[in-house]
Amino acid sequence: MKFGIFYEHSVQKPWSRQSELREYEQAMEQIVLADELGFDQVWQVEHHFLEEYSHGSAPEVFLAAAAARTKRIHLGQGIAVCLPPMNHPARIAERAAMLDLVSGGRLEFGTGRSATWTEVGGFNIDPDTTKEMWDECIRAIPKMWTEDEFEWHGKYFSMPPRNVLPKPIQDPHPPMWVAVSSPETAVQAAERGIGMLGVTLGTPADYRRLVADYRRIIKHCDPVGKFVNNQVNAASWLYCGEDPNEAKAVGGAAAFSFFQTAAHLVGLGGIYPSHAYTAQANATALLSQAEILSLREGFPVGSPEEIIQNMRYWEEVGVERVVMLINFDQAIPHKKVLASLERFAKYVMPEFTEEKVAERAKKGPAKTDGGPEAPPMAT
């Protein structure tokens, strides 16, 4: 099992000129440590205009800086927003390929279409069309990476024959993913042969159905890229504390802060009656449940022993990777975040080596159901 970390780059008010810089600098130090400790991936979101929640609008810039300071950790665009009025697909392909080159082939290419009115409306995009836009982009981009003469005549973008440069160093191209927060998208990821990048900060039980559908359908997929990426990357929390009480107090504060801030986002489904966003009409529900959701069973927030148990739930559900939010709004002091990463690497990671996971798989499924099942919930 592989473990990663991810960043929203949340920055709480009041702001100064230094607020964002401080967030980025702390994040960079955490990434350098994560690389040394053996974490497999770091992902950064692409969000626009979301005050406090995310000041991470240019992941390829931040990840290029991370590439220069690290050696092994994979760098994930989580995600590149594939909407032509926001990002021309050729520019997405160019920037991603360049990041792949400068990182020595460490790019994980995540795709998606945005979920808030603030972002989609900010670029004057019709929400009903974003799924189709994404679909065009994810089919065009692998061709740009692998063909010397690319031409496209689409509903949402067109271009005459051009050689889109540079080409990525990974051959034939970096692994492709899509952000999955609804069961529909899990199925669509599988049909297209791309990785399922869970973006619901959930528990193993939340992911059970998504993963089962994904696994079944991807066996018979029609891949959009040159190869099938059949991996599942789940998203959750991480705070590996000194003991259960300290972990719940510190980790719980960050989780609570996240759900509070997320509840103030204007989800598209909550403001615009789009058939393409019904799964997103959740802001009110999130706000009313922020406290309940903060530390649900299965979140890897606890002592190392508790986290090992929680990670076994994830293993049982069938995910290969878990990518974790390690702080939010700097609610956890930076030094404690570093210590949490160190404890996780020292005590938890050794329990999830390939050999140990294979050994447990031979013995059959664990005797747990992964906690209570919850209805679909997006963040």
Partner 1 sequence: MTQQISIVTDSSVDLPAAEAARLGIETAPLQVAFSTEFFRDDALDRGEFYRRLKDEPRLPTIAAAMPSDFLTAYRKARERGERVLCLINPFESCSTYTAAYSAAVVAKRDHKIDVEVMNTGRALTALGAVAVGAAEMAARGAELADIIKAIEEATPQIDSFYAPTTNDYLRRDGRISLYEMNVGPLRGMLPLIRVWGRVAVIGKARTQAENIAKMLELAEKELAGSEAIVVVTHGNNPEGAKALAVDAQKRLRCAKMILTPLGPSAGAYCGEGTVGLGFCPSLQKLN
- The residue within the footprint of partner 1, chosen from 38, 85, 183, 223 (CB under 8 A), is 183
Work out how close the CB of 199 gets to partner 1 at its nearest, in angstroms, rounded to a whole number.
16
Can residue 72 be called a binding residue for partner 1 (CB under 8 A)?
Answer: no
- Of 136-144, 284-292, 300-308, 355-363: span binding partner 1 (CB under 8 A): 136-144
Beta bridge partner(s), residue 112 = 81
Looking at beta carbons only, is 63 or 199 nearer to partner 1? 199
**CA-CA distance, 263 to 52, in Å (whole number)?**
12
**CA-CA distance, 347 to 12, in Å (whole number)?**
32
Looking at beta carbons only, is 252 or 269 nearer to partner 1? 269
Can residue 278 be called a binding residue for partner 1 (CB under 8 A)?
Answer: yes
For 26-94, the three-class secondary structure string (H helix, E strand, C coil) is HHHHHHHHHHHHCCCEEEECCCCCCCCCCCCCCHHHHHHHHHHHCCCCEEEEEEEECCCCCCCHHHHHH
Burial label, 320 (beta-carbon count in 10 A; 0-12, 13-18, 19+): middle
First-last CA distance in the chain: 24
Residue 263, C-beta contacts closer than 8 angstroms, at least 6 positions apart: 283, 284, 286, 287, 290
Looking at beta carbons only, is 3 or 150 nearer to partner 1? 150
Looking at beta carbons only, is 140 or 337 nearer to partner 1? 140
Beta bridge partner(s), residue 311 = none
Looking at beta carbons only, is 128 or 305 nearer to partner 1? 128
- Of 68-76, 179-187, 292-300, 334-342: span binding partner 1 (CB under 8 A): 179-187
- Is the bond leading into 161 cis (omega within 30 degrees of zero)? no
Chain residues 237-276 in contact with partner 1, contact rule CB under 8 A = 275-276
Can residue 162 be called a binding residue for partner 1 (CB under 8 A)?
Answer: no
- The residue within the footprint of partner 1, chosen from 13, 17, 153, 362 (CB under 8 A), is 153
Looking at beta carbons only, is 276 or 307 nearer to partner 1? 276
Question: Which one-letter DSSP state was computed for residue 348?
Answer: I
- The residue within the footprint of partner 1, chosen from 61, 102, 217, 285 (CB under 8 A), is 217
- The residue within the footprint of partner 1, chosen from 43, 152, 344, 352 (CB under 8 A), is 152
Can residue 151 be called a binding residue for partner 1 (CB under 8 A)?
Answer: yes
Task: Please count the residues of this chain forming the interface with partner 1, following the rule CB under 8 A.
Answer: 36
Looking at beta carbons only, is 154 or 318 nearer to partner 1? 154
Work out how close the CB of 155 gets to partner 1 at its nearest, in angstroms, rounded to a whole number.
3
Query: Residues of 159-179 as b/e, b for ≥16 C-beta within 10 angstroms?
Result: beeeebeebbbbeebbbbbbb
Can residue 346 be called a binding residue for partner 1 (CB under 8 A)?
Answer: no
Cα distances (Å, whole numbers) of residue 6 to 41, 100, 111, 145, 298: 8, 18, 15, 26, 18
Residue type at position 62: F
Can residue 191 be called a binding residue for partner 1 (CB under 8 A)?
Answer: yes
**CA-CA distance, 330 to 266, in Å (whole number)?**
22
Can residue 131 be called a binding residue for partner 1 (CB under 8 A)?
Answer: yes
Can residue 144 be called a binding residue for partner 1 (CB under 8 A)?
Answer: no
- The residue within the footprint of partner 1, chosen from 99, 190, 263, 326 (CB under 8 A), is 190
- The residue within the footprint of partner 1, chosen from 38, 85, 121, 154 (CB under 8 A), is 154
Phi-psi region of 114 (alpha: psi -120 to 50; beta: other; left: phi over 0): left
Work out how close the CB of 376 gets to partner 1 at its nearest, in angstroms, rounded to a whole number.
6
Question: Closest Cα partner for 13 from 250, 257, 184?
Answer: 257
Looking at beta carbons only, is 139 or 360 nearer to partner 1? 139
Residue 330, C-beta contacts closer than 8 angstroms, at least 6 positions apart: 10, 11, 12, 22, 23, 26
Work out how close the CB of 358 gets to partner 1 at its nearest, in angstroms, rounded to a whole number.
25
Question: Closest Cα partner for 115 from 288, 258, 324, 282?
Answer: 282
Can residue 88 be called a binding residue for partner 1 (CB under 8 A)?
Answer: no
Q: Which residues bind partner 1 (CB under 8 A)?
A: 128, 131-132, 135-136, 139-140, 143, 151-156, 158, 182-184, 186-188, 190-191, 213, 216-217, 219-220, 222, 275-279, 375-376
